[in-house]
Amino acid sequence: MAISITELYDLINREAQDDASLIAVLEGIQAQYRYLPFEALALASERLGVPLSQAFSVATFYHAFSLRPKGKHCLHVCMGTACHVRGSPQVLDRLLTKLGVRPGGTTRDRQFTLETVNCLGACALGPIVVTDGEYSGQMTPQKVDALLRRVAKVEGVASTSISPSTERADTCSAGESP
Amino acid sequence: MLRLTINDQLVEILKGYTLLQAAREHGIAIPTLCYLESLAPYAACRLCLVELVSARGSKLVASCAYPCEEGLIVRTNSPMVLDARRTVVELLMTTAGHLPAVQVLAREYGVPAPYVTLESNDCILCGLCVRACKEIVGVGAISLTQRGMAREVSVPFHISSADCIECATCALVCPTGAIRIEQFTRPARTMHTWTSAYARRACRLCEYEPPGEPFPTNYRELLGIQSA
């Protein structure tokens, strides 16, 4: 993915005020590129006058930041107690199989990121899968297929193109080693 | 001057000092692992916890960071404090029980082997290396990364830190010897996850280039520091 340096500079300058703006700057970069490229961290730390190690520390500490590109569509499966006893592990398993990633991982074509969350606070609707902010309640492994088909339709691709990646997929959690 | 009571002893101390400094000034011992006088307090190790007695009840505070106030009543060896200290040592022993610094504490406070042990780690995450690199040397080559069980001292992107000036301050302040100086083609800093071997440069406190002699690898022995 080509990163435009001027675009990065504009983005950083938009948020930057002093060294306390680091998180605000990183949030802007994450929103724009769906992850924090190395160049972005280096430029941001230089512009804000903080050591690169500090920018890296902040980037790896917060789950909101990712050092590897996230997928176009982010799927969050609730693994809280209520959803768990209602069968969310089976829902997760189905998604893992269909997408061919580990929890926290991103498909090779960078279309999907699959993550687990601890509780969404909507237990009566459990098990829940959140797709790009849209809540799907009372999920079952069968409904997972339907969900993925819907996303494929929105994308305009054949649903059969959503298949397990043949090569090992990246993880997208910040700082996680492959 | 402020007046407060530590262990039923009236103590006079200048404003701006912390409880730890006041206690040590008056010969009252409080253990620490992450405290260094030349660095800002970090209150990470929690060994320095002391009891603050008030009308509303007692609470534990980190004495290394708590500023002295007029009329405070402090206890450094009460059952509440000793219980907390023993818990801290027990938790330290889950990963660092092999370290002399921790064994000394375990003996002193009578802490038996913990119920659980995790993977052995020389680093106790006291943050002294990171803080010294940032505050004293002014470089900030290393930092604390990740969170929870994965938290570790590392270099940017776990690869290397081009900001490192090879001053060995991190190795010097490390209380456990987790950061070592090893001799490769040039002296290098190593920790179990990273190695730093760049050409030595002057820090902001040096007025001239450092002398030609490389930092000896047996510096701990020379300085009489107990090695890990």
- The ipTM, to two decimals, is 0.86
Contact B134 A51 (CB under 8 A): yes
pLDDT at A170: 44
How distant is the Cα of A52 from the closest Cα of chain B, in angstroms? 7
Contacts of B97 (CB under 8 A, 6+ apart): B103, B106, B113, B114, B117, B120
Contact B161 A54 (CB under 8 A): no
pLDDT at A54: 95
pLDDT at B199: 80
Q: Which two tokens stand for residue B139?
A: 């470089």
pLDDT at B213: 65
CB half-sphere exposure, A89, CA atoms < 13 A: 3
- Segment A32-37 mean pLDDT: 90
Q: How far apart are CA B228 and CA B217, in angstroms?
A: 14
Q: Where are the domains of chain A?
A: 5-61, 73-171
Contact B143 A38 (CB under 8 A): no
How distant is the Cα of B151 from the closest Cα of chain A, in angstroms? 9
- A57 → closest Cβ in B144, B150, B163: B144
pLDDT score of A5 more than 50: yes
| Phi and psi, residue A127, nearest 5° | -70, 140
pLDDT at B10: 95
Q: Which domains does chain B have, with CATH numbers?
A: 2-108 (3.10.20.740), 128-222 (3.30.70)
How distant is the Cα of A66 from the closest Cα of chain B, in angstroms? 12
Q: How far apart are CA A68 and CA A172, in angstroms?
A: 5
| Farthest CA pair distance, chain A | 52
| Phi and psi, residue A145, nearest 5° | -60, -45
pLDDT at A109: 87
Rounded to whole angstroms, what are the CA distances from A115 to A101, B33, B165?
10, 38, 40
- Segment A130-150 mean pLDDT: 92
Candidate CATH numbers 3.40.30.10, 3.40.50.10800, 3.30.1280.10, 3.40.50.20; the one for domain A73-171: 3.40.30.10
Contact A53 B140 (CB under 8 A): yes
pLDDT at A155: 78
How distant is the Cα of A74 from the closest Cα of chain B, in angstroms? 22
* pLDDT digit string (tens) for chain B, length 228 residues: 899 999 999 999 999 999 999 999 999 999 999 999 999 999 999 999 999 999 999 999 999 999 999 999 999 999 999 999 999 999 999 999 999 999 999 999 999 988 889 988 899 999 999 999 999 999 999 999 999 999 999 999 988 888 998 888 999 899 998 998 887 777 777 777 788 888 888 888 776 665 566 667 777 777 776 554
Strand (E) positions, chain B?
2-6, 9-13, 49-54, 57-62, 73-75, 143-145, 152-154, 180-183, 187-191, 194-196
User: Is the Cβ of B150 closer than 8 Å to some Cβ of chain A?
Assistant: yes
pLDDT at B136: 92
Taking only the tens place, the pLDDT of each residue in A141-173 is 999 999 998 888 887 765 555 555 444 444 433
CA-nearest residue to B161 within chain A is: A53
Contact A53 B142 (CB under 8 A): yes
pLDDT at B186: 74
